[in-house]
Amino acid sequence: MTTTVSKTAAIVSMMLLLSKTCQAQLSSTFYANSCPNALSTIRTTIRSAISSERRMAASLIRLHFHDCFAQGCDASILLDEAPSISSEKTAVQNNNSARGYNVIDKAKAEVEKVCPGVVSCADILAVAARDASEYVGGPTWTVKLGRRDSTTASRSFAESNLPRFTDSLEKLTSLFGSKGLSARDMVALSGSHTIGQAQCLTFRDRIYNNASDIDAGFASTRRRGCPANQGDTNLAPLDLVTPNCFDNNYFKNLIQKKGLLQSDQVLFSGRSTDSIVSEYSNNQDTFKSDFATAMIKMGDIDPLTGSSGIIRSVCSAAV
């Protein structure tokens, strides 16, 4: 009996050690020898894309976020529909909304030219988000590398794990908490809405049917570009003040009841996260520092490492 217990304990200890070893394989110097020009190659592509379309910075940050929240940071969001793959691209939160796939494909193609079969699409997503932030005045951070790519995707898992624009503060807190992210991480990451745009469909109900927690003038301005019964895909900047600059105006907007999405405004609605919003509205450096920290934590969500997963040759297919 004692021998059996000892063997069981040894097996459990070995499994825990192996798990920790896999996590430890993520390293900022992962490609230092195998592909030393990987990061500079990715950066060139990302900067070129954003210089052509400023909005792309927000799209690339969001793409990394939507990847990590659905079965981990494994590039599953990039996979196209296939007989054995239920593409996350058509999940409610991504369909006709998530963008930047072509930019990641371009970065992957360029990296393949210098280091074929070495750099994962999951790592390219993580690096692209960092480079996008930096390009538009946001923080930079050291990206841990060594993720591998999944061979599967799940539309249903994405739909149940990605936030929705109608989510309550409780729902958002629970969702982020399930990924190991704190309320402070959640508010900091939401600050990425200081750049980018949203479709009329996502904020129509807020500007027409919500008089309690929205500035009347702000709602009136937004209605001009978002008719009550049409124009679902009409775009509006998430931050009306400095829509192309990564700053803390997003939080100042929330305090003035000028959050575009309901899921934004709930962060400042007389609840537990009000103090964090106030802090970030008063201290841009603190916001940017916390955003970088939260992005690093998010990049650690369930990565495939070691012998798990593959290195795709094309990001949209499991090959």
* Cβ-based burial of 30 (10 A; exposed 0-12, middle 13-18, buried ≥19): buried
217-220, long-range: CB < 8 A, 24+ apart: 218/256, 218/257, 218/258
* Angle (nearest 5°) at CA 133 between 128 and 134: 100
172-206 as b/e: b if 16+ CB within 10 A: bbebbeebebebbbbbbbbbbbbbbbbbbebbbeb
| Selected catalytic residue, list 62, 64, 66, 312 | 66
Distance CA 108, CA 130 (A): 16
Q: Nearest-CA neighbor of 209 among 222, 199, 195, 192?
A: 222
Non-local (6+) Cβ contacts of 174 within 8 A are none
Two tokens, residue 16: 């825990």
Question: Is position 64 annotated as part of the catalytic site?
Answer: no
232-252 as b/e: b if 16+ CB within 10 A: eeeebbbbeeebbebbbbbbb
Two tokens, residue 96: 């006709």
Catalytic residues: 66
